Each structure stands twice: as structure tokens, then as C-alpha cells.
Amino acid sequence: QVHLVESGGGLVPAGGSLRLSCAPSRRTFSMYAMGWFRQAPGKEREIVAAISWNSGNTYYTDSVKGRFTISRDNAKNTMYLQMSSLKPEDTAVYYCAADDTRNPGSIRTMRYAYDYWGQGTQVTVSS
């Protein structure tokens, strides 16, 4: 079982930036495809971005393209989401997710494809 821990959320004015981090609660040497999801009040949890183990493949939902950047540092067992030009509609609880993989270049974009989840971190963008 892998427990993921997110950090870096907070309150930021529109146009501002935040960087979210996600790491397992203990060091793991397994290979994981990873992703960021978000859930706003009254809405379904949706994919924001995904990244393969080798960082060779990434995915972004249309609404964040050009504003958000997903990355990872496997030596530090940490994944990041750099968010810039934030908008009030980006307000949500952000979750990181991971899934075991044997293919270092594979990514997951569907919620049900992920086995491990963090507890979430709140991002609030004020207008």
C-alpha cells in the first residue's frame, strides 16, 4: 500500500502561482505512473495532468494547458504541479494519484486507473 501526501496548496489571488508537491509517506522503489486530479464543490473529480515514470509522456486537460506544468523527480520520489496564471475556476481540492506500471512511458488519464491517492490539498483562487 502506498500513501501519498500532497502539500503546497493555499489561497492565492487570480493571476498568481502555486506549486503543489506529492510524495509517498515512505520511500518506494516501485515504478509509478502519476497524475493530478481536482474536485470542486458539487463537481466530479477530474484529471488535471498526468506524467509517465520516465517523464517522457505528459497529459494536460485543455483548461490548464499553457498554465500548468507537471513534473517529477524520481530521485526525490516527488511529483510536482506548477500552476501559473491561476483563475477562480481553478479553485478545488487537488489530489495526487499513482498507479503501478511496468512501462516507464505509460500514463493514466482515467480516475479508475489509479490505485493510490493522497488526501488532497485545497487550492483557492480569489477574484
Note the pLDDT of residue 29. Answer: 66
- Dump pLDDT digits (tens) for 94-115: 999 999 999 999 999 999 999 9
User: Considering the chain, what percentage of its residues have pLDDT values greater than 70?
Assistant: 99
Higher pLDDT, 56 or 30: 56
DSSP state letters, the chain: ---EEEE--EEEETT--EEEEEEESS---S-EEEEEEEE-TTS--EEEEEE-TTS--EEE-GGGTTTEEEEEEGGGTEEEEEE-S--GGG-EEEEEEEEE-S-TT----SGGG--EEB--EEEEEE-
Note the pLDDT of residue 44. Answer: 97
pLDDT over threshold 90, residue 1: no
- Dump pLDDT digits (tens) for 21-55: 999 887 776 889 999 999 999 999 999 999 999 99
